[in-house]
Amino acid sequence: MKTIFDDVDKRVELEEEKKGGSKYLPFTLWLVALVFLVGTWSVYRWVANHPAVEPPPPPISLEDVKQTSEVINRFNRFVQDDKWTDAEVMLSNAGRQRLQSQGKSLRESLLGERKDQKVLEAATTPSGEKTPDRVRQDCVYRFYDGQFIIVPLTLIIENEKIVVDSWVDETQKKEVESKK
């Protein structure tokens, strides 16, 4: 004979089967959690050890003081260290043609009468001027005997590079040409 307790037991067993779902569900959930943790740790290690992407260089501009100062300082370092071939590489095409037409080396043209002396110190002065297509900066070249000369360097942009175009004061050059 069937009792009420039998029906209750049957009902409980049926409900447990419905609730329990798959007997592999807890194992699957633990596996998913473990894979998530391992994946997160792997991504963290990759990001931590991967070098950052270099930002693109800033566009070439004569308005950027850092870029113009870097070019002038590099040119002055070459002059100071007697690396005239490296300094000539920094010249514009017009500057190289000017040297060829004069028949002089950069050292002779830049230092003038003091071409045989070594430059002790090459530095910039606070004077200079800027136009949209040119930057002029005066540089002081001091020699071992204590004497110095001031050379105005003019920078322009040529072939996507900042180069030294002139090392002669343009106003003096125009005055000399007008006197001839």
Read off the CATH number of the domain in which 120 is found.
Answer: 3.10.450.100
User: Is residue 144 in some structural domain?
Assistant: yes
| Sheet-wide strand order for 148-158 | 119-130, 135-143, 148-158, 161-166
DSSP helix/strand/coil, 166? strand
Q: Is residue 55 included in any domain, yes or no? A: no
Residues in the chain: 180
Query: Looking at the domain assignment, is residue 110 inside a domain?
Result: yes
Q: Are residues 116 and 173 in the same domain?
A: yes
Query: What is the C-alpha separation between 29 and 147, in angstroms, rounded?
Result: 84
Query: What domain range is 164 assigned to?
Result: 65-179
- Are 42 and 131 within one domain? no
Tell me: do 45 and 74 sit in the same domain.
Answer: no
Look at the chain and report how many structural domains it folds into.
2
Alpha carbon distance 64, 134 (integer Å) = 12
Both 165 and 76 in one domain: the answer is yes
Q: Are residues 45 and 94 in the same domain?
A: no
Per-residue pLDDT of the chain (180 residues; tens, 9 = 90+): 566 656 777 777 777 666 655 667 788 899 999 999 999 999 999 999 988 888 888 888 888 889 999 999 999 999 999 999 999 999 999 999 999 998 988 888 888 888 888 889 999 988 888 888 899 999 999 999 989 999 999 999 998 899 999 988 665 554 445 444
CA angle 55, 60, 64 (to 5 degrees): 95
162 assigned to some structural domain: yes
